[in-house]
């Protein structure tokens, strides 16, 4: 399975990616997670990416495309992968197509988790994440058992730096301008599978499995 998972900020890409990764036994590659790990590790890439991420802007392609190609070249991606948050503009999509073609490869499907923008700000500002194991919670929709503490590993939950009202609004705008055109790009390639993301967590995953086995 070689998959992309797309959707507006807060649509549930990361949440469903955990299910898909386990169900299909493929690595989950999130460019956002890779950048955040670099910020935490205070690498050169992390310092550069942070400037853009904190404003809700896309990190430049020059820092992003080669990073993904390198990751996809690793052994664990040869049988399949789930890309989350990449591609985010036409240049990235074309670079991915060229890379796969050069390896005699192609995508199996592009999942679009569709959620109307109105409810996404609430999902984004209410999100809490575990800095240690990466688990994701929501103060209302999916609260941890003990407030502020990760159910999985017991670490103290944090809020992402870009999960503020102002930055979330900007991320949604950037999505509309730069990422939304990719839906037509993949529709034209007959790869696009749209799932309603404004449903219960488990129902969204049921629908994902349904469209992927069709
Ligand atoms: P990235 O990390 O990719 O963030 P994003 O696209 O904004 O998406 P999110 O991670 O915010 O949302 P999600 O869809 O994963 O939602 P989640 O499952 O957590 O990118 C961050 C930044 O990095 C970008 O702005 C950019 O600067 C940079 N970047 C990354 N990739 C790049 C690239 N390719 N090129 C350039 N720059 C790049 O869910 C959200 C919340 O909702 C959670 O609290 C969850 O519990 C809750 N929730 C989930 N599903 C449901 C449901 N069904 N019902 C109720 N609540 C739900
Ligand atoms: Mg995510
Ligand atoms: Zn944890």
- Judge whether residue 146 has pLDDT over 90: yes
Find the ligand nearest to 18 CA.
Answer: 1
Does residue 171 sit within a domain?
no
Number of independent structural domains in the chain: 1
**pLDDT number for residue 59:** 98
Residue 157 lies inside a defined structural domain of this protein: no
Which helix (H) or strand (E) segment holds residue 63: the answer is helix 61-72
Q: pLDDT of 50-93, one tens digit each?
A: 999 999 999 999 999 999 999 999 999 999 999 999 999 999 99
- DSSP letter at 58 equals P
Mean pLDDT, the chain, integer: 97
- If you average pLDDT over residues 198-204, what whole number do you get? 98
What percentage of the chain has pLDDT greater than the value 70? 100
Which pTM does this prediction carry? 0.97
In a domain, 167, yes or no: no
* Residue range of the domain that includes 186: 2-116+178-213
- Largest Cα–Cα separation, the chain: 49
Q: Is residue 32 domain-resident? A: yes
Nearest residue (CA) to ligand 1, atom 1: 32
Radius of gyration of the chain (CA): 17
* pLDDT tens column, 90-124: 999 999 999 999 999 999 999 999 999 999 999 99
Asked whether the CA dihedral 164, 167, 169, 175 is positive or negative, the reply is: negative
Tell me the ligand closest to 111's alpha carbon.
Answer: 1
| Beta bridge mates, 91 | none
Burial class for 19, CB neighbours closer than 10 Å (0-12, 13-18, 19+): middle
Average pLDDT over residues 9-33: 97
Tell me, yes or no, whether 173 lies in a domain.
Answer: no
Q: Are strands 136-138 and 2-6 parallel, antiparallel or unpaired?
A: unpaired
Q: How far is the CA of 159 from the centre of ligand 3 (A)?
A: 13
Query: Which residues' Cβ are closer than 6 Å to ligand 1?
Result: 7, 9-15, 31-32, 35, 52-53, 56-59, 64, 85-86, 88, 92, 123-124, 126-127, 136-138, 141-142, 162, 171, 197, 199, 201, 204
Q: What is the pLDDT of residue 214?
A: 81
Integer Cα distance of 162 and 166 in angstroms: 9
The structure tokens listed for 124 are 């984004």
What pLDDT, on a 0 to 100 scale, did the predictor assign at position 49?
A: 98
How much is the average pLDDT of 27-41? 97
Q: Quick one: which of 189, 193, 192, 187 has its CA closest to 211?
A: 193
Q: Give me 194's structure tokens.
A: 């749209």
CATH code of residue 12? 3.40.50.300
In angstroms, what is the span from residue 142 Cα to ligand 3's centroid? Answer: 14
N-term to C-term CA, the chain: 13
């Amino acid at each position: 399975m070689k998959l992309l998972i797309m959707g507006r900020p807060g649509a549930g890409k990361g949440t469903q990616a955990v299910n898909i990764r386990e169900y299909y036994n493929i690595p989950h590659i999130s460019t956002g997670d890779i950048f955040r790990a670099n910020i935490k590790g205070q690498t050169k890439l992390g310092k550069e990416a942070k400037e853009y991420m904190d404003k809700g802007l896309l990190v430049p392609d020059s820092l992003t495309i080669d990073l993904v190609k390198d990751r996809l070249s690793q052994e664990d991606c040869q049988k399949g992968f789930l890309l989350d948050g990449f591609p985010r503009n036409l240049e990235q999509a074309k670079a991915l197509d060229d890379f796969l073609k050069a390896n005699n490869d192609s995508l199996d499907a592009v999942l679009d988790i569709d959620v109307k923008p109105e409810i996404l700000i609430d999902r984004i500002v209410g999100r809490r994440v575990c800095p240690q194991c990466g688990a994701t919670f929501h103060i209302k929709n999916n609260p941890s058992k003990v407030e502020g503490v990760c159910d999985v590993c017991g670490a103290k939950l944090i809020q992402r730096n870009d999960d503020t009202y102002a930055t979330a609004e900007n991320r949604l705008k950037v999505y509309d301008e730069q990422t939304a055109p990719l839906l037509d790009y993949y529709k034209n390639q007959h790869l696009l599978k749209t799932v309603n993301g404004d449903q219960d967590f488990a129902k969204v995953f049921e629908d994902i499995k349904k469209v992927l086995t069709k």
